[in-house]
Structures are given as structure tokens and as C-alpha cells.
Chain A
């Protein structure tokens, strides 16, 4: 099993699907849709196989030996003169406790989104081809361990996402699509620049003893690999590590999206079709925080440590600002979009705490937010498919008309608020425990708890406006959920309830990686301090 390229399979399976979709005739709509669902279901199966063969005791992060399902071979090798154009790029995939939850999340959310895409009715072939391409990009980001490869996957998502919002979206889709594209491209060019800077700042030692510049993330993390003159090397007294850290952070923060770079998100969400909103909120936002944990934290540990207060501050702003914005919304989907901004703030806050609780909470919150928000967007989709409006004030009393639906809504809403017994509670609690546990972030964490209150406020208020009270006669003909909607919402509810009651499996999954990361940052910190005194 260990030699089988499982990660390549799970990453490139959608591309194969895309080729088949493109070869199928346009009229075969059912075949195209079913094929996409089968492909994404296979991805879930593969993710479960990965999970079953996963060794919980290995930490990963900076040590190649403790990564699992590694695939590594030379992809690009340019030799010749010693100083020009020399580049070695590895095709390097692997997972650890940080990426494994994300792989699971991507597989599940994409599968649900594929089911949700069944109602797409124009240019079906194009839609599903783009959908599958996007899938490969997302999965690739979470399994790539070579910065170059990571960047290629990162950028691979942009174009399909642009088209998915721009062609199949709502009335203002063109504006939303280009805004999304420009914002994220701005972020990625910053990442690109830092990537090139890092490339010139660390050298890996090859098997034959020669030293070459490297795009390998794990080698970049190793302080022993720094070159003397590299612009991002701490050995260079005039290094630009701080500026590079900010650039990289902004690049990722745009994706999260962190205040003040969040303005693309409400537009994109409101205009995107339901399935794409689900993917956007469920997976794409996680790439920002994943990137920070995977790249910024271990490669720039000393700066991370210096900036934790600021990261927590922006986390707090996200939580409270997002909640206030959500409270002011009249559009159901926009409300959920802003609640995403708020909930991603918890991830930032947890990350900033830099302790086991905080980082575990952050990763768990990434997973939980992925499933909860996916469910919330599906819920909006269900009502929008029937009523064709999303205006919160025009509903009322739907609880009587659609009792089962209201039941699912209640689960998702309470999970989003963080009610004990549902998954959101565990991760938020861990984030706060982590935040309180760190002297630097304590005050900010205390202030952030206000977010829970606000969250309960807008969620319950929405519940009241839409589902309680007298039934608006206009909606007396609405039908309750159908089979397809059950197929989407039931699995997500099960995950949310299961992880609410018994979060152990997920926490065990990430535990050793989280500890490895904290330990690594501590150790690296001492190294950089001694360097500073030289």
C-alpha cells in the first residue's frame, strides 16, 4: 500500500474525470453529472483509505521521514553552468496531521457540492469540467510539499473559479468574478515573490553531496540550509525576512479572507451558484490559513512569534467585525458570507496562541467551519431554489411549512453559534482556551468571546425571522426537502454531531503534528535568538 501513489491518484483523478467529461457529447447531461459525482465519491473513498492507513504518531511539519504517503521525484532539473538558470523542482507530495484533515474536508465538501450541482442547467459540460479542474487544484494545494508545486496548484484554481462564478452565477456575476480574480491574483503574486526570495535563501544537500537552491518547503524550514547572502536568509544582516513575511501573510490573508482584504468574499458568495459557494467557503478559505500554518509559521518562526499579538488582533477584528456585518444583512446568503468572515477569525485567533490547544482548535475550526458553512450555504440554496429570493424579511413561519428542513437549519445554526454537543463548540472552546493560555493573546481572546454572543444574536434572529412566527401565506406552497437535499445535508449533520460529541478522532489525527510544530517553532526561536546575538 505504501508504494501506491495514493496522493497522486486523489489529486489527479478529477483531471481524468475532466477529460472524460470533455469527450462526452453535450447531450449526455445525466452521464456528465453522474460521472462527476462518482469521481468525487471515489475521492471520498480514497480519503478514507488514506485515513485508515494513516499513522497517528508521526508528526510531519519539517521532517520528511514523518510525512506519510510520500511521493517524491525530480520533476524539473536544469544543470549545466553553475550559476545560471539552475533549477531543481521536485514533484513532492505528502501528508501530515495538518494536511490530512484538509484532504478529508476537501473530499467531503467537493462530493456534497457535486451532488448540489445536479440542478445546474446551462452549459453543463463546461460547468463540470471546470468543477473537476478546481477539485484537482484544491486537493493539490493540500498535498504539495514543494513550494513551486504548491504555487502551481494554488494558481490552477483561479481560472475555473472565475468561470464558475462568472458564467453560472447571479446577476452581478461578472463584477464578482473579476473582483475575486484580481484580489486573489494580487495575493498570489506576493506569494510568488516570496517564493523566489526563499529559493535563493536556502540550499538543500543532494544525495551526492552537492548543494543546490531548493523549492522544497521542508528544506526551507531547516535553519542549517540557509545561504550566507540570500535576501531571506537570517545569516544575511540585511535580510528582508520581515517584509517577506508580511507579503506572504497578506497573500494568504486575502484568501482567508482577513479584514481588510475581505471585501471580495460577500460579492463572490452572493453571486456564486450554491455549489460553488459551498466549495468557496468550505475549502478555498481554508487554503489561506493552511498556507500560513504550512509555510509562514515554520519558515519564519521567529517573526511569527513576534507578530502573534497582531495575528490575534486581526482574528479578533474578523470575529467581531464579521459578526456585526452579518447582523446588518438582509440577504440570507450575504449573512452566511459574513458569518464566514467571523468564523475564520477564530482560526486566526487560535493560530496566534501558538500552543497545542490554540493550534488544534484552529485546525479543527477549519474543518468544522468547512462542514458547517457548507451546510449553511446548502440551506440557503434549498430555500432559494424554491422561493427564488433570499430576502430574510420576506419569509416567516417556514417552520410549519417545512419542518424537516427547519430541523436541519437548527442543527447548522446551533453548530455555527457553538452550542455544546455540536462540532463548532469544541473548536471554538479550544481556540479560546488556547487564547487564554497565552499571555500575549489573552486580552484579545477575552474580547473575542463577544463574537459568540453576536453570533448567537444574528443566527437566532435569522432563525426567528425566517422560520418562526406566523407563516407568510405567499410561501404556503413550498415543499419540504427532497431526496437529493437529504443526501447533502444528512452526511454533514452526522459529521457535525459526531465531532460535537466525540472530537477525539480528529484531534488525534492532528495532535502529533501540532506538537511537532510548536516544538519546532520553539526550537527555531532559540536558534534565531542566538543568531541575533552574534
Chain B
């Protein structure tokens, strides 16, 4: 194992760690100039992004202690997800600049940004780790940082409630996962995904404990991507956490969870690839049935619960549960086409979901509420923000000509190609249900002509540019999606498979 020669493969991680240290030190030394903290973080993110872009196309194992026995896999799949994580981090840092919730915590901005970067480092290792121990460690790094961030605004009760719930659910599920990992280690004698695969291929019989361990590990992943039955924390945490963190959890942390799930399934169970890009998996675990079941229940529950929500943040929480269900269907296809659909979905979901949260935050900054009833007549008093929010919500519903349609289209193409017609029909009917609660916001904004409380929001140039950066891709990818699909197709590559 040659430690130093592989360091160049984790330059982005090193840059982020350096940024973390700089942020902490800067906060200690220049206590008064907190306004520079987001700038430093953005600089670190951009530098890391540059390195990640350079890394695209690299397909190398890092920190190998014997052949095919690596800790990290630097491949296109991980690089793609790192890109997603960095872009959403970039936006979330920008959001934090505008957020009055974050502003209200004077003198603690150093903590905020350093924890945010801590989450990024955790996610970076999570998306590329090829070893169960590293998966567990990076997941804990991610979780611990996010527990604190969820309760960052200490003065609000629901904030502390969110944080506490998150910690309890999080530690239980990671405990279960760790137990699963130890069972799997007991059965196979290794924690490396590729080695487990080799051992499984040679195995003649499979113990029931093995199935159990996989389910337990799935609990950990399920918690991160918030699918049924590990979703209970999501609405409360999303509602209670500062909006910036809610937005971040719903996109970046979910992306990291999906990345590791995809890698785990493919690396541990892979036995070959058949014509059409379908994976032949080892038959010890019926992934397809399990994932399809989970995703259908998840999307149905998410959509139907969202119908009853009056708090927009909570509604978006349920909507993100539903979206996790759709995305999981892409994984459930267990083919390269399905993974392509997942990657496309994430890129588009990132823009539309972050955008929706940003507008909700800007409005909440002013009116101090996320209640849908308080949105009455907003379409007339703040026409620009209103119409942009409308675009994001229409895109989340998945109607053309917005990008959300393309995301759904590719998902359904993958499903139909795999002849999973019934599943596709259920997912489509779910889309119809989801229209009702997304359109409810538009109904309040436009159909209810309530001019009793005129709201006036003055947009700063920076927030205006941020909105444009989010809304333009949503519209552009809706009518011209070649680049995003081309890029996603190149990114399904997993090292060694």
C-alpha cells in the first residue's frame, strides 16, 4: 500500500479540508469580519470543483492494500456525484448569505460554514468509498455535522426538536447499519466491497444472516435517502431546520446516499452485464423486488402526505420523499439505463428543488412564515418571485416544457424498456396526485386575490443572479437536454465493473 502516491486522487478532499481549517482559523482570528466566511467557503468550493472537473474521466483505485482491494474508487460515478454535491453546496452557501435565519446567529457563522464543509468532506468520501468501514465513517462525519446544523438556530424550539429527532433516528439507523456491517464481516471476513463480491461468487450456500445483514445495511442507506420506512425524521427535520440546511439535506445528502447505494449494490452483487445494459446480479438478494416495493410505498406515502400539509417547507419535505421514491425506481431497474436516469434526475432535481427552497426562503425572510395560506395573493405583489416559484413547482410536478419533465421522461423510458409497465403506471398516477399539492401553492398565489397584506420584496443583485442561475437550467434543459444526458451517460462508470 503506497499511501503518498495516491494522494493526488483526493486533492479535492484535501482542498476542502484545507478550506475547513482556514475557515475555522479565520473565524478565530478575525472575529469581526464574519462576512468573509462565505467568500472563503465559496473559494474553497470553486477550487475543489475545478479539481473535480479535472478528475472527470479518471478511473483509478486509491489506497490499494492489494489488487482490487482499494479504500476509495475514483471513477466517473463518484466524480459526477461530487460535482452535484459541490454545485449544490455552492448554491447553499449563497443561500446562507441571504438567509435571515443564519444571520440571526451572530458570532457563530464560523461554526456554520465549517460544519457545512465538514458535511461536504463526509459526502465526498461517501460517494467514492469502496469499503464498508469507510462508508460507515464518512456517513457518520456527514451525519454528525448535519445533526448540529439542523439545530443551528438555537433560539427556536422546533429547531432543537428537529435536531434531537435527527440525532435519535440517525444514531439508531447507523447503529443498525453498523451491526449489519459487522455481521457481513463475520460472514465474509472482509469489509471491502470487491472482496465481498469475490467471496459471494465462490459461495455455495448463503446463510439467512447474510440477507439480514444486507437489510440492516440498507437501513443506513435508507435513512440517508429518506425512504419508507426510514423516513420518519424527514418532515420534522426539514420543517425545523434552517431552510438552507433543509435544501442541502434534500439534495446533496440524498445524492450522496444514492451514490453509495448504487455502488454497494453493483460492487457487491455484480456478476455480469447483459445486452441492453442490464446487470446480472448474484441472486442471493432480490434487489429488484425490494427496491420497487420500497420506492412505490415511498412515493405514494410522500405524495399523499404532502396533500395535507399547510406548511410549505413540510410539504416540500414530503415532496422530496416522493422524489426519492421516483429516483429509487431508477435504481430498481438495475441497468445502466436506469442509473443514467438517476443521474439525470439528480442534476435536474438539484436545480428545481434548490430553487423552490430559495424562493420559499426569500419569502419567509420577509413575511416570517412558510404557511401556504400566507401565500395568498403573493403572485400579484411579488410577480417575479411568484412566477419563478411557479416554474420550479411546475418542474417538480414534471410538466413540459420544464426540465422536470425530462427527468421523469428518462425515468419512464428506463422503466418501459425494462418492461416494468405496472410500476411505471403507478409512478405516473403518483405524478397526477403530486400536481394537486404543487398547484395548491400556485392557487393561493394567483387564484386567491387577497390584497390585504401587500408584500414587497426588494431583491439584491446577488440573490437575483442566484435565482437566474437556478431557473435558467430548469427552462433550458426542458427544451434542450442533450448536454445533460450526454454527460450523465458518461458518468455511470463504476471502477472495476
Interface string of A128-140 (1 = CB under 8 A from B): 0000000000000
Known contacts A85-B340, A173-B447, A189-B429; is-contact A80 B481 (Cβ 8 Å)? no
B464 within 8 A of A: no
| Cross-interface CB contact of B432 among A77, A81, A167, A182, cutoff 8 Å | A182
| Cross-interface CB contact of A166 among B394, B428, B447, cutoff 8 Å | B447
Residues of chain B contacted by A166 (CB below 8 angstroms): 443, 446-447
Instruction: Check if B424 sits within 8 Å of A81, measured CB to CB.
Output: no
| A266 shortest CB reach to chain B, Å | 20
Instruction: Check if B485 sits within 8 Å of A181, measured CB to CB.
Output: no
| Cross-interface CB contact of B399 among A158, A174, A196, cutoff 8 Å | A158
Known contacts A178-B436, A189-B432; is-contact A80 B486 (Cβ 8 Å)? yes
B473 within 8 A of A: no
What residue in chain B is nearest A152 (Cβ atoms)?
B400
A309 within 8 A of B: no
Residues of chain A contacted by B275 (CB below 8 angstroms): 83
Q: In the docked arrangement, what's the CA distance between A240 and B419, Å?
A: 11
A259 within 8 A of B: no
Q: B interface, by DSSP: helix, strand, loop or mixed?
A: helix
Residues of chain A contacted by B490 (CB below 8 angstroms): 80
| Cross-interface CB contact of A152 among B401, B425, B443, cutoff 8 Å | B401
What residue in chain B is nearest A165 (Cβ atoms)?
B447
Interface string of A62-76 (1 = CB under 8 A from B): 000000000000011
Give the size category of A's interface with B. Answer: 35 or more
B residues 400-415 with Cβ under 8 Å of A? 400-401, 405, 409-410, 412-413
| A203 shortest CB reach to chain B, Å | 14
Known contacts A199-B413, A200-B417; is-contact A84 B337 (Cβ 8 Å)? yes
Instruction: Check if B439 sits within 8 Å of A162, measured CB to CB.
Output: yes
Q: In the complex, which of the residues A85, A159, A192 has the most CB atoms of chain B within 10 Å of its own CB atom?
A: A85
What residue in chain B is nearest A166 (Cβ atoms)?
B447
Residues of chain A contacted by B409 (CB below 8 angstroms): 192, 196
Give the size category of B's interface with A. Answer: 35 or more
B435 within 8 A of A: yes
Instruction: Check if A178 sits within 8 Å of B439, measured CB to CB.
Output: yes
A163 within 8 A of B: yes
Instruction: Check if B447 sits within 8 Å of A174, measured CB to CB.
Output: yes
Q: In the docked arrangement, what's the CA distance between A163 and B449, Å?
A: 13
Instruction: Check if A83 sits within 8 Å of B486, measured CB to CB.
Output: no
Residues of chain B contacted by A78 (CB below 8 angstroms): 482, 485-486, 489
Q: In the docked arrangement, what's the CA distance between A226 and B412, Å?
A: 20
A13 within 8 A of B: no
Q: A interface, by DSSP: helix, strand, loop or mixed?
A: helix
A197 within 8 A of B: yes
Residues of chain B contacted by A151 (CB below 8 angstroms): 400
Instruction: Check if A196 sits within 8 Å of B416, measured CB to CB.
Output: yes
Instruction: Check if B480 sits within 8 Å of A76, measured CB to CB.
Output: yes
Known contacts A166-B446, A189-B429, A240-B421; is-contact A83 B435 (Cβ 8 Å)? no
B380 within 8 A of A: yes
| B445 shortest CB reach to chain A, Å | 10
Instruction: Check if A167 sits within 8 Å of B276, measured CB to CB.
Output: no
What residue in chain B is nearest A201 (Cβ atoms)?
B416
A391 within 8 A of B: no
Q: In the docked arrangement, what's the CA distance between A181 and B436, Å?
A: 9
Q: In the docked arrangement, what's the CA distance between A33 and B405, Å?
A: 33
What residue in chain B is nearest A231 (Cβ atoms)?
B419
Instruction: Check if B400 sits within 8 Å of A156, measured CB to CB.
Output: yes
A29 within 8 A of B: no
Q: In the docked arrangement, what's the CA distance between A77 and B481, Å?
A: 9
Q: In the docked arrangement, what's the CA distance between A178 and B429, Å?
A: 16
B residues 339-357 with Cβ under 8 Å of A? 340, 344
Instruction: Check if A159 sits within 8 Å of B435, measured CB to CB.
Output: no
| Cross-interface CB contact of A83 among B277, B416, B448, cutoff 8 Å | B277
Interface string of B323-365 (1 = CB under 8 A from A): 0000000000000110010001000000000000000000000
Residues of chain A contacted by B413 (CB below 8 angstroms): 87, 196, 199-200
A185 within 8 A of B: yes
| B178 shortest CB reach to chain A, Å | 36
Instruction: Check if A159 sits within 8 Å of B446, measured CB to CB.
Output: no
Q: In the docked arrangement, what's the CA distance between A87 and B290, Å?
A: 30
| A141 shortest CB reach to chain B, Å | 12
| B448 shortest CB reach to chain A, Å | 8
B488 within 8 A of A: yes
Q: In the complex, which of the residues A80, A83, A84, A240 has the most CB atoms of chain B within 10 Å of its own CB atom?
A: A84
A529 within 8 A of B: no
Q: In the complex, which of the residues A155, A156, A200 has the most CB atoms of chain B within 10 Å of its own CB atom?
A: A155
Interface string of A198-224 (1 = CB under 8 A from B): 011000000000000000000000000
| A201 shortest CB reach to chain B, Å | 10
B146 within 8 A of A: no
Known contacts A123-B380, A166-B446, A186-B432; is-contact A84 B425 (Cβ 8 Å)? no
Instruction: Check if B340 sits within 8 Å of A84, measured CB to CB.
Output: yes
| B391 shortest CB reach to chain A, Å | 10
Residues of chain A contacted by B446 (CB below 8 angstroms): 163, 166-167
What residue in chain A is nearest B440 (Cβ atoms)?
A178
Instruction: Check if B428 sits within 8 Å of A189, measured CB to CB.
Output: yes
Q: In the docked arrangement, what's the CA distance between A162 and B440, Å?
A: 12
Q: A84-B492, A85-B344, A190-B428 are in contact. List 11 more A-B contacts (CB 8 A).
A: A76-B481, A87-B485, A122-B449, A123-B380, A156-B400, A163-B447, A166-B446, A185-B431, A189-B431, A199-B413, A199-B416
User: Which 3 A-B residue pairings sit nearest by Cβ, starting from the closest?
Assistant: A189-B428, A166-B447, A152-B400
